[in-house]
Structure 1
């Protein structure tokens, strides 16, 4: 079956374009249907995540979200999605500094609070903070060369951007302990089999596949997608009983949407729905 082709677009206002140009570490390409591809841009450092890169990424995501973005694709380059945190930046920090400035947490929490999905397209290295950033996304599409790991203990620290919490929820305790304590890395195939990765494709197809996934998301009702994402995220943080109650509340809430009426009417009339996003 031929996949949908996502076409580049250029509908951003000049003001938004001017702001985006300021962010040297994040390149942005706009596509139709409210899809944006964000490419990390520190190739000389294998996209190591320093403070400035993460600040720029959080600002770009916030800006696009408030300019009617429907879905984002986040990627790196052929060698690395992101090889980890910037050790040269971290090495000189003291306990007092990291505690006072809420190091990592203050910036990463902005990305966690978004209401639009992000699809990660991962080639090459996704280690340490890079693996945590991929796990912060909602869906991971991996090229065959992708490698995932959390090697922080070898540096005398532990994962600090959600690695210990998200990995165990994705792959289970035994696999997470092996990765975190022994430094074991996961190939794309192992990551997919363990539940960390959604899809594996050839390396040169990872971004294309991620854009295809993003298109299938973006063509749905925006508030319904946001609600579904919120409920699935909640499942990672709650008991089954609480999760079921939360799902039920949000399921009922969809019946207050015009898009629920349109979606069901379109199904019965055997046509594509005309979403109003309300």
Structure 2
């Protein structure tokens, strides 16, 4: 198994998934990505899962693409249909996805972190795009997502030098939302996920989609998309519940309808 799934959820509505290839520093083999896509698909279909935390171990979130696979299969190790379809499925996951990063998040591992909606990093975490050291460049979205979060100079520094930045720098640059003591990333990520899981799940999915639209379109088109997501949220029973709970000064009980 290339993943470890918590058999008892850490808190209601939260699924914790751990990458589990410790001998390879959780390198993203094709099998791991296919398994991850399948697990996230199951989470997407489960009404009991409202938010997902994705983690590695204390040494590594993920060292990136599996270089052994690249040596054996070349470009097909990265862009073979099986792996590429799995990566796209992870990217398309609609529910809130939170990364808990300890140790290294390099190459494809960092690009997987950037697919997540919120990033919690332990103080020992490091982030890098070292593909240049292999005579290549980031190929799982790094050259496109980094400039959408960083300045041009910061993105170029990561991509062109291959050098790692520490967790404090990543937070300062905006790649990390929460910086915690080493070893505390999963705990903090689960806390955040639990807060999200207590909200209206349809509204959370619509909100995630609206924010993501901002990275992919113009402001005017994004505002139109936002208004449409708001209209959809007003059609839900959970919206009625939220309004009634506010008016009667009680805690809402969102059911996902």
1:87 corresponds to which residue? 67
Residue 50 of structure 1 and its aligned partner are, at CA, apart by: 0.8
2:133 corresponds to which residue? 154
Count of equivalent residues:
254
1:19 corresponds to which residue? none
Gaps of 5+ in 1: 1-23
Residue 155 of structure 1 and its aligned partner are, at CA, apart by: 0.5
2:202 corresponds to which residue? 223
Q: Does 1:249 align with 2:215?
A: no
Which secondary structure state, in structure 2, belongs to the residue aligned with residue 148 of structure 1? strand
Residue 93 of structure 1 and its aligned partner are, at CA, apart by: 2.6
2:80 corresponds to which residue? 101
2:214 corresponds to which residue? 235
Deviations 1:206-225 (A, max 9, x none): 11000000001100111000
TM-score by structure 2 length? 0.94
| Aligned mate of 1:78, from 58, 61, 65 | 58
Which secondary structure state, in structure 2, belongs to the residue aligned with residue 37 of structure 1? strand
Residue 276 of structure 1 and its aligned partner are, at CA, apart by: 2.4
Aligned equivalents of 2:79, 2:256: Cα separation in 1: 41
Gaps of 5+ in 2: none
Aligned equivalents of 2:78, 2:142: Cα separation in 1: 18
| Aligned mate of 1:275, from 249, 254, 257 | 254
Residue 265 of structure 1 and its aligned partner are, at CA, apart by: 1.4
Residue 98 of structure 1 and its aligned partner are, at CA, apart by: 6.0
Deviations 1:241-268 (A, max 9, x none): 1111111111122211111111111112
Aligned equivalents of 1:223, 1:82: Cα separation in 2: 31
Which secondary structure state, in structure 2, belongs to the residue aligned with residue 31 of structure 1? coil
2:5 corresponds to which residue? 28
| Aligned mate of 1:260, from 230, 239, 254 | 239
Which secondary structure state, in structure 2, belongs to the residue aligned with residue 121 of structure 1? strand
Which secondary structure state, in structure 2, belongs to the residue aligned with residue 140 of structure 1? strand
| Contact kept in structure 2, 1:54 and 1:107, CA below 8 Å | yes
1:199 corresponds to which residue? 178
Q: 1:186 to 1:99 in 2, by over 3 A?
A: closer
Residue 67 of structure 1 and its aligned partner are, at CA, apart by: 2.1
Aligned counterparts, 1:62-77, within 5 A: 62-68=41-47, 69-77=49-57
Residue 99 of structure 1 and its aligned partner are, at CA, apart by: 8.8
Q: 1:189 to 1:272 in 2, by over 3 A?
A: same
1:117 corresponds to which residue? 96
Q: 1:273 to 1:99 in 2, by over 3 A?
A: closer
| Contact kept in structure 1, 2:11 and 2:190, CA below 8 Å | no
Aligned equivalents of 1:277, 1:244: Cα separation in 2: 25
Which secondary structure state, in structure 2, belongs to the residue aligned with residue 253 of structure 1? helix
